[in-house]
């Protein structure tokens, strides 16, 4: 073996020193990386902790605190008063009709009013097809037939008239419905189950006749009193394109016939006759309608006529119309008519067999699958400006008593689809 030269020995020592320095540098870099990882980990833990604390604080502020405050401020249950005696006699119950009654909601909302109905005039056209009438009512061999589910409906509601209240579970609807405005109300709790633009201004069209019937009923003492139809009543309505029940000039009919003529086929000549009988003129009757709207606490509704013919100032909201329908359901005469699918008027010289009247909405609904729900009564409306509207009451598949008002659908069939969907799909969600 040969000995290393001095040069070789120096080179070896230099290489060994360089390796040692490299190791030291690598060790420092490794230690620095470890310290960096620990620092980043510490910072991340601190950030996540702060984020969690912030989220918890936001949850308390957003949900827990309002829920606690709501529980402290929630009003107690509304007190139900006894239903006051009706100021007028209701029409005789039809011989073959099943009475469709509905409980109106226990109300706890904004403005309290206690009365029975208000009227809203209808527009000229009705998009509902005429159907053949079947039954005749007990007076003068006339009958009115309601839906078969009506016999199981609860008794008349006895609570004040108030706007229905929204709650945390109120569902906001949009593209689920064809109508541009709608409201679905639980009649027993007076809570809004679902809604779509409930406070948007609408033209109520013939839904107005619900209010007309209610106001007229407050001024009728005997539904067997008669009224003679005149050409002066019919001609302007015919020229305006209003829907007519079919009463002729010179024909003497009972007030009961006029009530059913107004609500089932949406006869504008019938509402005009009721207005003249009750107030002396249509103008005076319109004033009574607006007084009734104020009495019911309505803040938007304003009426210009008794039939619903279009007028830019003749308007309300679906929320308003829900209060009007509920008040009408508490009036025995109005509720009986609203719940009847068919009615035959008393015989006259002009109509020896009576006029056969049909509620086309109820007739059409009876031919469709209601998906377990039962629509017990309704009043529709249509004008070009209002679209197709409807106010109805009924029961969900689980037996929940509900009230629905929709407005501005493109066709009457789409209105029917909306009402069936609201009763069968949304009424039992809460």
Q: What angle do CA 389, 237, 182 make, to 5 degrees?
A: 10
Ranges of beta strands (E only) in 212-351 are 226-228, 252-254, 340-344
Residue % of the chain over a pLDDT of 70: 70
Domain ranges of the chain: 139-426
DSSP 68-104: HHHHHHPPPPPPPPPPPPPSSPPPPPPSSPPP---PP
The whole-number pLDDT of residue 7 equals 52
More confident residue, 158 or 341: 341
Asked if residue 427 has pLDDT above 60, the reply is yes
Class of domain 139-426: alpha beta
Q: 140: alpha, beta or left, given left = phi > 0 and alpha = psi -120 to 50?
A: left
Strands (E), 164-203: 171-172, 181-186, 191-196
Whether the full predicted model's pTM is greater than 0.75, yes or no, is no
Are β-strands 191-196 and 171-172 bridged in parallel, bridged antiparallel, or unpaired?
parallel
Residue 102 has pLDDT above 70, yes or no: no
175 C-beta neighbours (distance < 10 Å), count: 6
To the nearest 10°, the Cα dihedral for 317, 164, 220, 86? 180
- Residue 216: enclosing H or E segment and its boundaries? helix 208-217
- Above pLDDT 90, what percent of the chain? 61
Neighbour tally for 80: CB within 10 Å: 12
């Amino acid at each position: 073996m040969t000995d290393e030269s001095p040069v070789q020995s120096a080179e070896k020592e230099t290489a060994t020193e360089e390796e040692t320095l490299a190791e030291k540098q690598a060790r420092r870099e490794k230690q620095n990386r470890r310290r960096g990882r620990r620092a980043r980990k510490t910072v991340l833990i601190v950030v996540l902790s702060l984020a969690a604390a912030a989220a918890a604080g936001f949850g308390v502020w957003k949900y827990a605190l309002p829920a606690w405050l709501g529980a402290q401020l929630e009003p107690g249950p509304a007190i139900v008063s006894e239903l006051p005696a009706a100021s007028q006699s209701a029409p005789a119950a039809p011989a073959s009709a099943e009475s469709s009654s509905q409980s109106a909601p226990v109300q706890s909302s904004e403005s309290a009013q206690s009365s029975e109905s208000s009227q809203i005039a209808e527009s000229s056209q009705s998009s509902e097809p005429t159907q053949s009438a079947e039954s005749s009512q007990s007076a003068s061999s006339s009958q009115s037939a309601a839906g078969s589910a009506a016999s199981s409906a609860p008794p008349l509601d006895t609570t004040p008239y108030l706007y229905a209240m929204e709650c945390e579970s109120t569902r906001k609807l949009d593209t689920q419905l064809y109508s541009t405005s709608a409201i679905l109300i639980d009649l027993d709790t007076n809570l809004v189950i679902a809604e779509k633009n409930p406070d948007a201004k609408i033209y109520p069209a013939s839904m107005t006749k619900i209010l007309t019937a209610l106001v007229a009923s407050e001024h009728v003492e005997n539904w067997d009193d008669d009224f003679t139809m005149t050409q002066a009543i019919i001609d302007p309505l015919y020229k305006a394109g209003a829907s007519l029940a079919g009463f002729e000039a010179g024909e003497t009919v009972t007030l009961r016939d006029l009530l059913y003529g107004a609500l089932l086929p949406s006869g504008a000549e019938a509402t005009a006759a009721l207005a003249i009988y009750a107030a002396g003129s249509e103008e005076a009757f319109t004033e009574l309608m607006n007084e009734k709207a104020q009495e019911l606490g309505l803040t938007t509704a304003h009426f210009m006529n008794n039939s619903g013919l279009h007028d830019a100032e003749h308007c309300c909201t679906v929320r308003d119309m829900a209060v009007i329908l509920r008040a009408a359901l508490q009036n025995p005469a109005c509720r009986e008519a609203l719940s009847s699918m068919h009615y035959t008027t008393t015989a006259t010289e002009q109509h020896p067999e009576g006029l056969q009247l049909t509620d086309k909405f109820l007739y059409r609904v009876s031919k469709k699958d209601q998906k377990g729900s039962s629509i017990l009564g309704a009043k529709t409306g249509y004008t070009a400006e209002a679209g197709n509207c409807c106010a109805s009451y009924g029961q969900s598949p689980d037996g929940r008593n509900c009230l629905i008002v929709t407005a501005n659908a493109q066709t009457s069939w789409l209105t029917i689809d909306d009402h069936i969907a609201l009763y069968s799909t949304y009424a039992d969600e809460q």
